Amino acid sequence: MALSLPETVEAEDHLGFAVRNKAGRSGTKQFAWAWNERVTPGRPRVPRPDVLAVRVAGQAEKEMLLAADAGKFFTEPHYNGFPAVLVRLAAVGEDELRELIIDAWRCQAPRHLVRDSGL
């Protein structure tokens, strides 16, 4: 789904997606990625491919999603103040996931690209 969006690239580790954007050092802005869970304190986080982190437009949208369905959406202290929500992939349907990914892409894509894509 993510790779079908204009100017989207997959992370080298295959655990995330970014949109090409001239801002930033790498020229891309990440909009969806596998959640890295802190399983053991003091140890590296572990990728959880069954949970997707997606960018959201802001804190209000994040709070709305979290309040809408705790079975689908959650967060953790690491994401406090950060415009992203965690999504349990098994709990969302394909259409809802597509909408979440497109909305996340729109948050990070250059304005002209969003406008020209019609998304």
Residue range 18-31, pLDDT digits in tens: 999 876 556 899 99
pTM for the model stands at 0.90
Residue 114 — left, alpha, or beta (φ > 0 → left; ψ -120 to 50 → alpha)? alpha
Q: Which residues touch 69 (CB under 8 Å, ≥6 apart)?
A: 91
Query: What residue has token string 């655990």?
Result: 15
Interval 88-109: pLDDT, tens? 999 999 999 999 999 999 999 9
* DSSP E strands, the chain: 8-10, 16-20, 28-37, 46-55, 73-74, 84-88
Interval 37-76: pLDDT, tens? 999 989 999 999 999 999 999 999 999 999 999 999 999 9
Q: What is the model's pLDDT at position 25? A: 56
The first and second tokens of residue 9, run together, are 């690239």
Cβ atoms within 10 A of the Cβ of 55, count?
A: 24
The first and second tokens of residue 22, run together, are 């001239």
Kindly state the DSSP code that residue 11 receives in the 8-state scheme.
Answer: -
DSSP 75-89: --GGGTTSSEEEEEG
Q: What is the model's pLDDT at position 35? A: 95
Q: What is the model's pLDDT at position 91? A: 98
Q: What is the model's pLDDT at position 24? A: 55
Domains of the chain, residue spans:
2-117
Assigned CATH topology for domain 2-117: Aspartate Aminotransferase, domain 1 (3.90.1150)
Q: In what order do the strands lie in the sheet with 46-55?
A: 8-10, 16-20, 28-37, 46-55, 84-88, 73-74
The first and second tokens of residue 64, run together, are 């709305």
Q: Name the pLDDT band for 15 (thresholds 50, 70, 90).
A: confident
